[in-house]
């Protein structure tokens, strides 16, 4: 039984609850496939409000598609400059107003903790669609779903590569994977290492953690490479960004050392994966992005008790 009122952080869930959501996503996946001929009215009459205070392509669009595939409707705030936020309205007031217009809210905000605060003032469910360098739980759910589709979730050895300091996707994912007994290999520049408090939490949960600044050290030990971009927008000092930009690049030569390794990426990708890797059997990131629709369909239906 799913009893959550909001989805704010992967740390709020047990393994059983995560599996419950993934199972629902599997049940709904056929409705997400374009041209499959299946239609649903599961959320007919319901309205989702997308409140995005940061740029988004996949998350915002897949939430919108998910709601519409289930027969619901969507209203969007895709730019804070076009809203009353530009006039100085605070987030609390916005949430109080918008929750009176809709049945559920997906919120992306640059401040860590914004979604948890919003949940305390909202009269409808809040889904954290990314809060600064904090959490991105629905991205984690689609990541888990992708890994499960590859039959790797029970014996996972995964390298998380790139920006581990600021990336909310790897923070959320690492916490969730600790529930599945995954071996976690952290690969990053020294300046972008996984925060110590997160590593302490993971070790406290029994996770095995290995760290390096070099992908080659772990390339033959893992079955998944989870690559992230170095996020320019998270750096307070552009000079610090320039020191680490372009540190890692996944090439066909690199993955030839482990020909069955699965490559994932939350997207957008810049220069951290060579374009020719897109054509290999290893690349899963575009399929991974598609899975955002059935996973978010699952989340919407469960929170709306449909």
Read off the pLDDT of residues 218-275 as tens digits, 9 standing for 90 and up: 999 999 999 998 765 555 656 565 555 667 899 999 999 999 999 999 999 988 999 9
- pLDDT digit string (tens) for 151-189? 999 999 999 999 998 888 999 999 999 999 999 999 998
Q: Would 144 be classed as within a structural domain?
A: no
Residue 3 lies in a domain: no
Active-site position among 59, 140, 169, 228: 59
Active-site hit among 108, 165, 265, 284 = 108
The single residue of 3, 34, 87, 214 carrying the catalytic annotation is: 87
Q: For 71-106, how does the pLDDT look when each residue is reduced to its tens digit (9 = 90+)?
A: 999 999 867 666 666 667 799 999 999 999 999 999
Q: Into how many domains does the chain fold? A: 2
Query: What's the rounded Cα separation, in Å, for the pair 27 and 294?
Result: 9
- Of the candidates 99, 27, 32, 28, the one whose C-alpha atom is nearest the C-alpha of residue 62 is 32
Does residue 199 sit in the same domain as residue 298? no
- Are 250 and 263 in contact by the 8 Å Cβ rule? The answer is yes
Q: Max Cα separation, the chain?
A: 55
Based on the residue annotation, tell me whether 94 is a catalytic residue of this protein: no
Q: Tell me: do 182 and 86 sit in the same domain.
A: no
Instruction: Based on the residue annotation, tell me whether 296 is a catalytic residue of this protein.
Output: no
Active site residue 10: no
pLDDT tens-digit map of 179-229: 999 999 999 988 889 999 999 999 999 999 999 999 999 999 999 999 998
Element (H, E) at 47: strand 47-52
Instruction: Render the burial of 210-246: b for 16+ CB within 10 Å, e for the rest.
Output: ebeeebeebbeebbbbbbbbbbeebbeeeeebeebbe
Name the active-site residue from 4, 11, 58, 149. 58
- Looking at the domain assignment, is residue 205 inside a domain? yes
Examine the domain organization and report whether 268 and 155 are in the same domain: yes
297 and 199 fall within a common domain: no
pLDDT at 212: 95
Q: Looking at the structure, tell me whether residues 75 and 162 fall in a common domain.
A: no
Residue 108 is among the residues annotated as catalytic for this protein: yes
Q: Are residues 185 and 93 in the same domain?
A: no
Q: What is the token pair recorded at 155?
A: 């014996």
Q: What is the pLDDT of residue 244?
A: 58
Domain that includes residue 268, residue range: 151-283
Is residue 194 in a domain? yes
Say if residue 202 is in the same domain as residue 166.
yes
Residues in contact with 1: Cβ distance below 8 Å, sequence separation at least 6, in sequence order: none
Q: Where are the beta strands (DSSP E) in 60-207?
A: 73-77, 104-109, 126-131, 157-161, 183-187
Residue 228 within any structural domain of the chain: yes
Question: Does 96 participate in catalysis according to the annotation?
Answer: no
Give me the CATH number covering residue 80. Answer: 3.40.50.1370
Of the residues 6, 46, 109, 136, only one is catalytic, namely 136
Q: Which two tokens stand for residue 187?
A: 């690969």
155 and 96 both lie in a single domain: no
> Do residues 155 and 108 share a domain?
no
* Same domain, yes or no: 271 and 297: no
**Whether residue 240 sits in one domain with residue 161:** yes
17: in domain: yes
* Edge-to-edge strand ranges of the sheet holding 157-161: 208-212, 183-187, 157-161, 224-227, 262-264
**274: in domain:** yes
Q: Is residue 220 domain-shared with residue 110, that is, in the same domain?
A: no
């Amino acid at each position: 039984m799913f009893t959550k009122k909001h989805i704010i952080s992967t740390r709020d869930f047990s393994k059983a609850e995560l599996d419950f959501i993934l199972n629902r996503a599997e049940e709904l996946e056929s409705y997400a496939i374009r041209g499959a001929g299946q239609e649903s009215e599961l959320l007919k009459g319901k309205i989702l409000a997308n409140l995005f205070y940061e740029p988004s392509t996949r998350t915002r669009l897949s939430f919108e598609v998910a709601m519409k595939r289930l027969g619901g409707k969507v209203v969007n705030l895709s730019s804070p400059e076009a809203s009353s936020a530009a006039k100085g309205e605070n987030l609390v007031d916005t949430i109080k107003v918008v929750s009176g217009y809709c049945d559920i809210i997906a919120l992306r905000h640059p401040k860590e903790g914004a979604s948890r605060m919003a949940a305390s003032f909202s009269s409808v469910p809040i889904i954290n669609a990314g809060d600064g360098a904090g959490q991105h739980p629905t991205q984690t759910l689609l990541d888990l779903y992708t890994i499960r589709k590859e039959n790797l979730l029970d014996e996972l050895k995964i390298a998380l590569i790139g920006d581990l300091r600021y990336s909310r996707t790897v923070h959320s994912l690492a916490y969730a994977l600790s529930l599945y007994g995954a071996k976690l290999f952290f690969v990053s520049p020294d300046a972008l290492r996984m925060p110590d408090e997160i590593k302490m939490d993971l070790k406290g949960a029994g996770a095995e953690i290995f760290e390096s600044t070099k992908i080659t050290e772990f390339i033959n030990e893992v079955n998944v490479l989870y690559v992230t971009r170095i996020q320019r927008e998270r750096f307070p000092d552009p000079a610090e960004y320039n020191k680490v930009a372009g540190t890692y690049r996944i090439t066909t030569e690199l993955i030839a050392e482990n020909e069955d390794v699965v490559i994932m990426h939350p997207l957008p990708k810049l220069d951290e994966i060579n374009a020719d890797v897109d054509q290999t059997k290893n690349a899963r990131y575009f399929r991974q992005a598609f899975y955002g629709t059935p996973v978010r369909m699952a989340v919407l239906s469960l929170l709306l008790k449909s």
